[in-house]
Chains A and B, each alone.
Chain A
Amino acid sequence: MRNTASTSLSKGKIRQSWSKYNLYNLQRFRKPTTASRTFFQQKWTAKAAARAYHGEQVREGQWKRMFSKHIRSVIPMNTTDLAADDGSKESAGRGSGLSETSSRNRSRPIPFTQMAFAPLERRLDVAIFRALFASSTRQARQFVIHGAVTVNGQKMRHPSYLLNPGDLFQVDPDRVMYATGAPKTAFERREARQMKQKSAEPEAEAEAEAEQTKAKPETTEKESAKDTLRALMSQAKTIMSTDKDVLPAKRKQELRGFQKAVRRVLSRSDTSSVLTDNLEAQFSQLTLLLNAKRAEKKPAKGSERETQDKKTSPTSTKSGEAASNALSDAFQAAAEGGEVDTSELTDEEFDVLRHALTQMRDNPIDHSKPYATPWRPRDYMAPFAFIPRYLEVNQNICAAVYLRHPVARPGSAEVPTPFGESISTPAYGWYLKRRW
């Protein structure tokens, strides 16, 4: 949901957000005219535009205290150049080299003022947004406040925490998937509602079902594992109840954690993760099956199918309808855990099927999630997808390390800003203690 208060079309301000409104504003933004405007007016406009994007959630006074006129920059050094001479050539003559065309003189200028808002990039909420873990800084802020973010393994509830170089922050993967995934459709929302209602029904039924599942011969191994877990849990409970006064608190904590873990494992059969468990088992079975079938089929593949089939992309439903129908039938059969009839499929379709099954394992349909499943990126995400170099991100676990403070280098600045020098320079001048 876009923040209607902060992303308006009439003002046309650019925000740190992936909303399509913001994308449109970004696209139609033109640098303000300077003709017939005083220098003060120019600076005011530039500062207003820049602040609407940089730290819009930060009070002006707070930002003024953070601002620093000192800007970090680096020069990439070439070791061959350094080894070639001791620098006396550069200082020869009147101090800038005898010959004008020295290789090092050709470097591009460093865009210093583009780094004016670099101190804000240290903030935890901004860093979460930059690591692509939230769709806007305000959402990142909410994640922090709601306790979904840890810094160096400890829960951090202050969005204004300034990261230090080497800090590792991690966001709850489910929240990230929710923030960056496509929203649910009405149909999916209804499915989720129905599922909820079902699970809320009396637990007697569930217990009866559990009894039934126990009876099944194929799950005996799992059940035995569960039994041992249960035994362990009861043991832990007894320890807790009897030796309450004797045990040191640390041990108590461990025991409580252990109990929790056991409970999580035991309650799996009631939640959605059992679906994924089943999928896992199904998947391994299916891949085995498919491999076997494929090996059988290989000698016969010769002339039956034309190369046309390869061209028919699996996504286009119009062309090659019959073939894709067979494919989708096979997929459905596979997803439901039945026998797969692969005799009608081409090699290409085999690969597609396998690929689809792999993706299904990682990305299952699960209506209990708050985002549309199977997960897919939300619309208009790609125009905003970039990760600055001062962060090292591991998307699998939704964790990132703040390596160092952002720096400027010849020709480029690391602070992501949609504005050019015509905005950032007057804005930088505005915040200097001795204003230009």
Chain B
Amino acid sequence: MAPRIQPQRVSNALLPYLTSSTSSSTSSITPTSTPLSSPILSRQFSVTPAPQTRLRRQMFLWLTTKGAALKHHTPGETNYLTGRDKDDKSGGNPRPFPGNSSFLSESVLSEELRNEIYVRVVEKKKSVRAVSVEFGVDMKRIAAVVRLVELERRQRAQGKPLALPYARAVHEMVPTTPLAQEGEHPVYHESINDLPAHPSTGAQIFYPVPESRSFNRVDAGRVFSGAPALEIDVAAKISHPSDLIDDIVQNPNSIEWVGKGGNARQVLQPADVRIPHPQLVQLERDRKAFPNERRTVTERHNERLKKQEEAEQKRREVAQARREKSVQHVEPEGGRFNYRIQDAKFTKETVGVDGRAPWAPGRRYGIPADDRKRGIVKIPTRVEA
């Protein structure tokens, strides 16, 4: 057994609440160090010494000496095994594991920043894209924050229990991205223009190009996806890969396809198009082209953003309308269900070559359902939101 610490009654009722006045919920009780030399003295009812293996002794020795600092945290500071002094090694991000230098404890959004994002998106009706650029927060994260804050508000209104002291404690232990005060330069949370490595770029390809020709990112994408080189007159029209952005943003289906059947694939587009915020490349190019006309640059940028948002909105509406059209709602009077009836599509992909594939909709004679069989995984693969 571990050396028992006698439960010391805290006489001062104020103690657990009184901590540093900034903000903290840590207990202020200083770690009571038990004298290790006399573990027997603390056991009043036992004559025989407690069985302590060498490893246990070493562990408790470490916990009372070097490890004692890890027992409690200081609000606003991380308290990892690697210590506080090594924090500046990796751009300010501390490393929680001493054996792994490539894992960083990255900061989380502070409560104020989270609420500010919610206010911007929901109350001020700013677009997710604009807020993402403004705070340097990924667009997916913005959507998640809005969802979570919405849920939190609803739960507060309903009077459901919250874990407020826990939340405060976690935000004290973990690095956080603060909300910039007015007039301050905003602190960017993360890189927003992450380019996912496409699997087709993994191949090493030997592709000879005449020196007289310039080989740019558009050409590289075509080579990686096995598409023929662009015609000279078409290539001449593209002065920079970012020229492709407008067309593809307006109509993503305009991307060229290569290959046949199951091997069909879209031509790999240059990084300028594939990043989450392609409009920022155009903005940078405009800034370079018109260094003294800030207003024009901003106007052009805003116009582009507006067009992009309109296109996205339109696409969403069309998709929604198509979905609505394909589903027929039936609600029998006095019944308990709302039936959604969708026509089965009878194609090779949906029902197989002979129309009897196991994944085809409906019950078919001679094709048993697997949903109750032994050895078939019944764990759901998705939960509808």
Give chain A's interface residues, CB within 8 Å of chain B. 9-10, 20-21, 23-24, 26-27, 29, 31, 70, 72-80, 82-84, 86-88, 91, 111, 114, 132, 151-154, 156, 158, 160-162, 164-168, 170, 173-174, 176-177, 180-182, 185-187, 248-250, 313-315, 317, 324, 327-328, 331-332, 335, 348, 351-352, 355-357, 359-360, 362-363, 374-377, 379-389, 392-401, 403-404, 407, 409, 411-421, 423
Contact = CB atoms under 8 A, between A and B. Distances in A.
Contact of A248 (B275, B283, B336): B336
Nearest to A132: B170
A132 to B, nearest CB: 6
Given A9-B59, A24-B62, A382-B79, A401 B166 contact: no
B281 A79 contact: yes
A261 to B, nearest CB: 9
B151 A399 contact: yes
A380 B166 contact: no
B320 interface: no
B99 interface: yes
Given A82-B284, A87-B220, A395-B171, A9 B14 contact: no
Nearest to B148: A394
Question: Which of A82, A404, A412 has most B Cβ within 10 Å?
Answer: A82
Contacts of B359: none
B367 interface: no
Can you list the 5 inter-chain pairs with the closest CB atoms, starting with the nearest? Answer: A395-B167, A83-B284, A382-B73, A386-B105, A401-B144
Question: Which of A79, A162, A399, A419 has most B Cβ within 10 Å?
Answer: A79
B106 interface: yes
Interface string B35-72: 00000000000000000010110010011000100111
B191 A398 contact: no
A148 B105 CA distance: 28
B80 A383 contact: yes
Interface string B74-106: 000011110000000010000011111111111
27 contacts: A26-B98, A76-B195, A79-B284, A82-B241, A82-B275, A86-B241, A88-B214, A91-B209, A152-B384, A164-B381, A168-B147, A180-B166, A352-B18, A359-B17, A375-B165, A381-B73, A381-B173, A385-B78, A385-B79, A385-B174, A388-B106, A392-B144, A394-B151, A396-B163, A401-B147, A419-B100, A423-B99
Contacts of A72: 196-197
Interface stretch (B23-31, B123-131, B260-268, B308-316): B23-31
A86 B100 contact: no
A340 B216 CA distance: 76
Nearest to B100: A420
B323 interface: no
Contacts of B19: 314-315
Given A87-B270, A363-B164, A396-B162, A386 B96 contact: yes
Contacts of A31: 99
A74 B190 CA distance: 13
A117 B71 CA distance: 29
A15 to B, nearest CB: 13
Contact of B81 (A9, A26, A313): A26
B144 A86 contact: no
A387 B102 contact: no
Contact of A380 (B56, B71, B171, B275): B71
A76 to B, nearest CB: 4
B271 interface: yes
B99 A315 contact: no
Nearest to B243: A86
B100 A418 contact: yes
A249 B336 contact: yes
Contacts of A132: 170
A403 B138 contact: yes
Contacts of B360: none
Given A23-B70, A411-B102, A9 B53 contact: yes
A398 B165 CA distance: 12
A374 B169 CA distance: 13
Interface string B118-161: 00000000000000000000101100110111011001000011
Contacts of B90: 411-412
Contacts of B285: 83
Interface in B229-278: 239-242, 270-272, 275, 277
Contacts of A185: 7
Question: Which of A166, A186, A386 has most B Cβ within 10 Å?
Answer: A386
A70 B201 CA distance: 13
Nearest to B377: A160
A376 B14 contact: no
A182 B166 CA distance: 11
Nearest to A374: B16
Contact of B165 (A356, A363, A411): A363
